[in-house]
Amino acid sequence: MKKNLIILLAVLFSIPALATVAEKPVWSHVSGRFEFQWDIAKDQAKTLKQPGGQTIWEGSLLPAFLLEDATGKQHYVKATAEINQLQVQDADFKFILRFDEFGTGELLVKKTEWGISFEKLSIHWTAEPPKIISMYIGTSLVPEEGQAMMPVGQHFIGNFRAAGFCVPGAKEGPAQSYFRMWDFGQSTIPLGSFGPTLGAPYGAAFPRPVLAFAMGNDQGWTAFGAGSLPDAPMVLKLQSSMGCIEFLYREDLWGAGQQERVWRKPLCITFGENAWLAFRGYFHSFPEKEPLSNVHQKAIWNTWGNWRNKEYPIRPMVDFAKQTGTEVFVVDDPWEESQGLGKPSTERFPDFQADLDYIEKSNMQRGIWETLGWIKDTAACGLTKNDLIVGKDGKPSKASWNFNPFDPGYFCIDISSAHAREFLKERTIWTMKNIQPKLIKLDFGYGMPSPDRGVPRNPELRGERYCFELMKIISKAAKSVDPDVTIMYYGISPLFLPVVDMVSLDDQGDLWYAVKEGHDQWSIWASLLSDQQVAISGSSGYDWHKDDEVVLNSFILGSPGAVLATHLDDGSPVPEKFLNRRLALNTWFRKTVQWEPVWLNSHLGGLTGPPQLKCWGRQEKIDGKDELTALVLSAGNQVDLEELKPFEWEGRWALVSQTGGGILNTSQLAVIPFDAGFISIQLTEKPKSIQKLSIDGNSPFTDWKWENGKLTIRVNEAALSKTAGYMINRLN
pTM flag (> 0.75): yes
Where residue 201 falls among pLDDT bands split at 50, 70, 90? low
| Per-residue confidence (pLDDT) for residue 151, from 0 to 100 | 85
Where residue 401 falls among pLDDT bands split at 50, 70, 90? confident
Query: How high does pLDDT run on average in the chain?
Result: 93
| Per-residue confidence (pLDDT) for residue 498, from 0 to 100 | 97
Q: Residue 140 and residue 155: Cα distance in Å, rounded? A: 9
Residue 110 CB partners (closer than 8 Å, separation 6+)? 91, 92, 93, 116, 117, 119
Q: Residue 678 and residue 1: Cα distance in Å, rounded? A: 36
| Per-residue confidence (pLDDT) for residue 384, from 0 to 100 | 97
SS3 sequence of 324-378: CCCCEEEECCCCECCCCCCCECCCCCCCHHHHHHHHHHCCCEEEEEEECCEECCH
Q: Residue 509 and residue 655: Cα distance in Å, rounded? A: 28
pLDDT, tens digit, 9 for 90 and up, residues 68-78: 999 999 999 99
Report the run of H or E that residue 2 belongs to, with start and end. helix 2-13
| Per-residue confidence (pLDDT) for residue 512, from 0 to 100 | 87
Q: For the ranges 79-88, 172-181, 717-726, which has the lowest average pLDDT?
A: 79-88
* Whether residue 54 has pLDDT greater than 80: yes
Where residue 195 falls among pLDDT bands split at 50, 70, 90? confident
